Amino acid sequence: MTGAPLPLPASAAKVSLFRKLLIHPTGAVSLLVLFLVALASILAPVLAPYDPNASSLKDVLAKAGSEFLLGADSAGRDVFSRLLFAGQFSLAGALVALTVALVIGVTAGLIAGYHGGWFDTVSSWLTGLLMALPGMVVLLAARAVVGQSMWLSMVIFGVLLSPAFFRLVYASVTAVRNELYVDAARVSGLGDVRIIGRHILTVVRAPVIIQSAMVLGIAIAIQAGLEFLGLGDRTIPTWGSMLNDGFINIFKAPTLVLWPALVIGLVCVALTLLANAMRDELERSRGPVKKGRKAAPTGAENASEKRGNAAVVHAEEPSSNHGELLLEVTDLGVGYDQPDGSTTDVVHHVNLTVRRGEVHGLVGESGSGKTQTAFSILRLLPQDGRITGGSILFEGRDLAHLSEKEMTKVRGKRIAYIPQEPMSNLDAAFTIGSQLMEPMRVCLGISKTEARKRALALLAKVGIPHPERTFNSYPHQISGGMAQRVLIAGAVSCEPDLLIADEPTTALDVTVQAEVLNLLRELQEELKMGVILVTHNFGVVADLCDRVTVMQSGRVVETGPVRAIFNDAKHPYTRKLLEAILEDTAPRGPLVTAGTPRELNGVTP
Amino acid sequence: MTETLLDIKDVVVEYPPKGFRAKPFKAIKGVSLDIRPGETVGLVGESGSGKTTLGRSVLGLAPVTGGSIKYRGQEISNATRAQRRELSHEIQVVFQDPYTSLNPSMTIEQILTEPLTVRKMERQAANKRVAELLDQVRLPHDAAHRLPREFSGGQRQRVAIARALALDPKLIVCDEPVSALDLSTQARVMELFIEIQERTGVAYLFISHDLAVVRHLSHRVAVMYHGEIVEWGDGGQVTSAPEHPYTQRLLMAAPIPDPDRQAKHRADRLRLLGIQREQDVQAGFA
């Protein structure tokens, strides 16, 4: 154990959502529009030149001009003043609806998602019911019962909108409820209220804010719609009622309808754009993908040291395989294109050979580039990834420069692949049988009956006890070990020359791993395949490999016959890896309770 | 006479049935185990053996439907919230996946002070404690203001260990804490576990699928298979010369990192499987 603290990567600054929105172009404009509208509404008593309800007969439908900035309406009231005051009521009404929806939806969603049980059942059923109700009709009916109060109808509308929040919160909460950090908080003795407040609300906060902006826009539009139908409160100015008045007089004063429509449109558009901008920003800040395939090592810290330290190449043993050279990778480089136009290299100058009938182990820790190397041979690099240099000679052709169409012919038929996660590599929608037959029919051009016969024979060959039953089952009906056998059967179905296995046993239990390793050895000997075995487990290497290449930070540090690597490792990194192996350490021994444990309790000899 | 810290007796864990008239799922079928202060008890098993569920039942995260779990003589298998809160001083946890066991939106400082604030610790004292904890797990102090995503797997696991240590517990349930880590990181984190144990005298219930990891860390080892403990005893004995056929299979299945010895090991395994199959057949006919 080194006493020195571990080095840390550079800190990523935490920037608030509000600040990010100010930089986001549409976000900033939307915020500005909303801010101005809200400000104008709040300051209406100061800004408005007239009382919004003061009517005068002589000013009916007055033209816009110096006296009335935007003209006067059918009762001779100043349109500009009404627009300002209407903002107060329209916005407040929409906020009432939003608040009601938020309070009901978020609370119910939290309780139902976190506790489940009967409350979950009841509230989910009620939500379904609410969503099935036509909102406008309910509002019309409600108006008939409770009267023309704008506030009451907005409260009812809020209830109708609450499922939007309920669903959202419910889904987020059920997703995090069983996260390990929530369990850890429980073990720390935190109460439910605290757990919800600290761990669960933070997760739902972002989507709720986005949804709120959307819902506010909907509330404003619906409210305007109600008022436009003439169902609003006549005593207060709102944008909707102004729209109604303008529509009635559309032939006499066409501009009357324009102003409220413009404001409503502007506010709704701004809210929607704001929601989108927030989504952009929140999703962008999700940070790096966890455990992604692209384990891009930024290891610049000792890059110079490594460059000076050429790979250790061990001499061939007399007994080693002198078969035909199957694959020759020379000076391979793999890089990822970055958004700013630069390229991050993850594999540098890798050389690798595989002979027919040889198992070549590619060993390294996460981020060493071993999987990237394997994928580049298959030309299956993730998006933005590309081969930046070197050649991959396979049967006299350079795979690095083959067209995608020609590569498709090589892949599957000549070079096969076994993945790490067997389950995620089988399509849950198709039976095992159909997934095995499809490639055979394409690659070998055989009939369906023949493909079926071969598939059943293959399943029997990879040690599946009831081939017929497995053939007809779906992936979720079989265990992980069985799924890996199926994938191995699929990989060898076209009798490839080269097999690339990416951590084929890492996801499996030890006893299953031993079976799968045996199977791989048998098939490899029978079909005389060359195999590239990507792994981090030296036990697997010792079990299967003839030759080993050790990689670190995208470079080969040592390569040679398997015994030379295990018994005579030269590179410090290889030695460090071999030292970390626990298999040969002595057991810790029984607990010594008397005396000082530190002295008596030796860890390893 | 040695005092017992945790005494698990005939524990049964049943999950309520999913669906109408379905049978409840019995994850643990009567398991007994004890842990002494300052001891590491290793719990080995394959996926679905119930080893994680046993750990969760000690933490109060799995429904114990039979038997008893006693901590220093006090029954804790169905503790109330208030009792659990008291127990958080005594029993803590480190989970397997360092990626999901830390809340991604909280800084390391917030994560580490969380258990402390439950104890109503003063802010200043809590900050001091955070610095101590970071020292203990060998992370620099400026780690406090960073988010979990800025750390590697091994560093995150150090944060998780620091969180477990925050309240000075007497027992930490470690659920596969090193299996998601790289080989060399794994070795360093295991040394950290041992070092902390020797300094603080904390006991571990160390759950793992890897016999080698368990052998390295444990004083005593229990092997679980299909919800039951099939072998239980001295760590060296169980992990080197096991008596139960399943433990034997487990030991023989793990490949040895040496080509020549592994070739012999492989042959031994096939021979053992043959003998066991024969015995099964004989037992079947007897």
Alpha-carbon distances, residue A250 vs A82, A240, A434 (angstroms)? 18, 15, 66
Residues A260 and A328 in one domain: no
pLDDT tens digits along A212-260: 998 999 899 988 888 888 777 778 888 888 888 888 888 888 888 888 8
CATH of the domain at A143: 1.10.3720.10
Nearest-CA distance B286 → chain A (Å): 26
Residue B57's pLDDT is what?
92
Burial A34-58 (b: 16+ CB within 10 A, else e): beebeebbeebeeebebebeeeeee
Q: Are B212 and A585 inside 8 Å of each other by CB?
A: yes
pLDDT tens digits along A330-386: 999 998 888 777 888 889 999 999 998 899 999 988 888 888 899 999 888 888 888
Instruction: Please give the Cα distance from A453 to A455 (Å, whole number).
Output: 5
* Amino acid identity for residue B146 in this structure: R
Q: Examine residue A342 and state whether it is found in any structural domain, yes or no.
A: yes
**Interface-testing mutation among A582, A593, A601, with chain B (most B C-beta atoms within 10 A):** A582
Q: Examine residue A549 and state whether it is found in any structural domain, yes or no.
A: yes
Chain A residues inside the 8 Å CB shell of B186: 580
Q: Residue B33 pLDDT more than 90? A: yes
Residues A266 and A345 in one domain: no
CB contact at 8 A, B188 and A557: no
Residues A257 and A388 in one domain: no
Task: For B118, name the nearest residue in chain A, comparing CA atoms only.
Answer: A190
B196 φψ region: left (φ > 0), alpha (ψ -120 to 50), beta (else): alpha
Q: Are A181 and B250 inside 8 Å of each other by CB?
A: no
Residue A505's pLDDT is what?
86
Q: Examine residue A397 and state whether it is found in any structural domain, yes or no.
A: yes
Percent of chain B with pLDDT over 70: 97
Nearest-CA distance A113 → chain B (Å): 18
Residue A67's pLDDT is what?
74
Q: Examine residue A117 and state whether it is found in any structural domain, yes or no.
A: yes
Where among A254, A271, A288 does a domain terminate? Answer: A271
Instruction: Please give the Cα distance from A94 to A84 (Å, whole number).
Output: 16
Query: Three-state SS across A21-48?
Result: HHHCHHHHHHHHHHHHHHHHHHCHHHHC
Residue A547's pLDDT is what?
92
Residue A290's pLDDT is what?
38
- Three-state DSSP state, A390: strand
Instruction: Please give the Cα distance from A328 to A398 (Å, whole number).
Output: 9
Residue A603's pLDDT is what?
40
Chain B residues inside the 8 Å CB shell of A591: 36, 38-40, 219-220
Q: Identify the sign of the CA torsion A32, A35, A41, A47.
A: negative
Choose the closest CB to B97 out of A4, A180, A562. Answer: A180
| Chain B touched by A479 (CB under 8 Å) | no
Residues A116 and A225 in one domain: yes
From the list B213, B146, B249, B222, the residue with the least C-alpha distance to A513 is B249
Residues A262 and A338 in one domain: no
| Chain B touched by A300 (CB under 8 Å) | no
Chain B residues inside the 8 Å CB shell of A369: none
Residues A394 and A536 in one domain: yes
Number of domains chain A is built from = 2
Residues A264 and A329 in one domain: no
For the record, the structure tokens of A122 come out as 């009841």
Mean pLDDT, chain A cut into blocks of 10 residues (605 residues total): 46 62 86 91 84 76 74 81 89 93 92 85 90 86 82 89 91 85 84 83 83 90 86 82 87 85 92 87 54 39 46 74 83 86 86 91 87 89 86 88 86 86 86 89 87 90 87 88 88 89 86 88 90 91 92 91 90 89 77 50 40
Instruction: Please give the Cα distance from B186 to A582 (Å, whole number).
Output: 10
Instruction: Please give the Cα distance from A545 to A357 (Å, whole number).
Output: 11
Residue A297's pLDDT is what?
40
**The CATH number fitting domain B1-90+169-243, selected from 3.40.50.720, 2.40.10.220, 3.40.50.970, 3.40.50.300:** 3.40.50.300
Residues A265 and A396 in one domain: no
* Amino acid identity for residue A588 in this structure: R
Residue A600's pLDDT is what?
38
In sequence order, which residues have a C-beta less than 8 Å from that of residue A451 and are 6 or more positions away?
A: A436, A437, A440, A441, A444
For the record, the structure tokens of A334 come out as 């793999």
Range of the domain at A391: 322-411+529-605
Q: Examine residue A401 and state whether it is found in any structural domain, yes or no.
A: yes
Chain A residues inside the 8 Å CB shell of B108: none
H or E element, residue A89:
helix A79-115
Alpha-carbon distances, residue A588 vs A1, A479, A598, A603, B240 (angstroms)? 17, 35, 13, 6, 12
Where among A240, A271, A302 does a domain terminate? Answer: A271
Choose the closest CB to A539 out of B38, B215, B256. Answer: B256
Residue B31: strand pairing partners: B11
Average pLDDT over residues B46-55: 89
Instruction: Please give the Cα distance from A562 to A361 (Å, whole number).
Output: 9
Residues A253 and A358 in one domain: no
CATH of the domain at A402: 3.40.50.300
Question: Which of the 8 DSSP states describes residue B210?
Answer: -
Taken as a whole, chain B contains a residue count of: 286
pLDDT tens digits along B100-136: 888 888 889 988 988 887 777 888 888 888 999 998 8
Chain A residues inside the 8 Å CB shell of B215: 582, 585, 587-588
Where among A271, A303, A337 does a domain terminate? Answer: A271
Residues A184 and A110 in one domain: yes
Residue A593's pLDDT is what?
61
Residue A309's pLDDT is what?
53
Q: Are A202 and B258 inside 8 Å of each other by CB?
A: no
Residues A34 and A177 in one domain: yes
Instruction: Please give the Cα distance from A464 to B121 (Å, whole number).
Output: 59
Alpha-carbon distances, residue A373 vs A286, A331, A393, A500, A544 (angstroms)? 28, 11, 14, 11, 20
**Interface-testing mutation among B3, B95, B183, with chain A (most A C-beta atoms within 10 A):** B183
Q: Examine residue A12 and state whether it is found in any structural domain, yes or no.
A: no
Least confident of A431-440, B81-90, B245-254: B81-90
Residue A301's pLDDT is what?
38
Q: Examine residue A106 and state whether it is found in any structural domain, yes or no.
A: yes
Residue A78's pLDDT is what?
84
